[in-house]
Amino acid sequence: MLKRGIKKLLAIDKRVLILGALIAGVLFSFGTVKTMAYLDSPGFCQNCHTMKSVYTSFVDSTHAELQCNDCHLPHESEVGKLFFKGRAGMTHIFYNTLGTEDIPDRIYATTRTLRVINKNCAECHKSTVDNVSHDAKENCMSCHQTVPHGSDFKDDSYHQPPKSGELLKNKGGF
């Protein structure tokens, strides 16, 4: 079956074949790049319940224009990024399917992720780090703990009269 397929393919005009391959190649790489970008985006991450609250706080933050993985993945090399993404993705799939009972109340960044995030902060905020001494603590988040997910606890709405029905809307949860 495979052999017959190859024979048939080779029978096609070579020029058509090259053109076809070219178009297929462009479409494929375009698709891959787009898919990979989507997999880095907030829109994709918030598909899981566990990410709803960090998503809400993130879209209200000054960093809202960025992608989740601009901060959460290493960017030194494409291979390193993909490897990290693959490893993290596998654990996420596990916890969101078979391991839901083991998700803790509060999710902390792992040491590995913390290191990556720290590097990414410094990468964008290079001039700040260069101009102002930043050696008081080890991690950016040790001081800047509310960046960018800190505002989800109590926003301005808490200091307004409550909206009728808001507790019913999400069943009081995320």
Partner 1 sequence: MNRFRYGAYLLLLVFVLIITGCSSSSDSAGEKSASAKEAKGTTGLSKDEISNEAFKELFPLQYNSYMKNEKMEDTKYNGSVKRSKYDPDKEPLLPVLFNGYGFATEYNEDRGHVYALEDVRDIKRITDKSVGSCYTCKSTAVPQMIEEMGDEYWGANFNQEIWPKGEAMGHSPIGCSDCHDPETMDLRVTRPSFYKALEAQGIDTSNPTKNDMRSYVCGQCHVEYHFAADNSEVTFPWDNGFKPEDMYEYYNTIAKENGFEKDWVHNISGAPMLKAQHPEYETHASGTHGKANVSCADCHMPYERVDGKRKITSHYWTSPLKTMDTSCGQCHGDRDLDKLKDRVIEIQDANVSALHEAQDISTTAHYYINKMITSGVSQDKIKQAQEFVRKGQWFWDIIAAENSSGFHNPQGSMDSLRESVVQSNNAIRLATEELVKKGVSIEELNSEIEKAKSAVKAETVNEKKKDHALNSYFPAQQPVVPAVKK
Select the residue interacting with partner 1 from 16, 79, 132, 168 (CB under 8 A).
168
d(CA 109, CA 153): 18
Tell whether omega for the bond before 162 is within 30 degrees of 0, i.e. cis.
no
- Choose the stretch contacting partner 1; rule: CB under 8 A; options: 18-26, 110-118, 127-135, 152-160: 152-160
The b-or-e profile of 52-87 (16+ CB within 10 A means b, else e) is bbbbbbbeebebeebbbbebbbbeeeeeebeebbee
Question: Is residue 87 involved in binding partner 1 (CB under 8 A)?
Answer: no
Distances in Å between the Cα of 116 and the Cα atoms of 2, 22, 81, 174 are 45, 37, 10, 27
Residue 50 touches partner 1, criterion: CB under 8 A: yes
3-state secondary structure of 75: coil
- Between CA 89 and CA 83 the distance in angstroms is 10
| Residue 171 contacts partner 1 per CB under 8 A | yes
Binding mask 109-148 for partner 1 (x = CB under 8 A): ---------------------------------xx-x---
Q: Could you give the CA distance from residue 173 to residue 156 in angstroms, rounded to a whole number?
A: 18
List the one residue from 3, 5, 14, 161 that touches partner 1 (CB under 8 A): 161
Contact window for partner 1 (CB under 8 A) among 21-29, 67-75, 124-132, 155-163: 155-163
Retrieve residue 69's tokens: 């993985």
Cα gap 63→122, rounded to integer Å? 14
Is 4 a binding residue for partner 1 by CB under 8 A? The answer is no
Question: In the Cβ-directed half-sphere of 108, how many Cα atoms lie within 13 Å?
Answer: 7
Q: Which of 96, 113, 118, 151 binds partner 1 (CB under 8 A)?
A: 96
Nearer to partner 1, 8 or 162 (CB): 162
Binders in 5-24 for partner 1, by CB under 8 A? none
Is 102 a binding residue for partner 1 by CB under 8 A? The answer is: yes
The residues that touch partner 1, with contacts defined as CB under 8 A, are 1-2, 48-50, 52-53, 93, 96-106, 142-143, 145, 153-154, 157-162, 164-169, 171-174
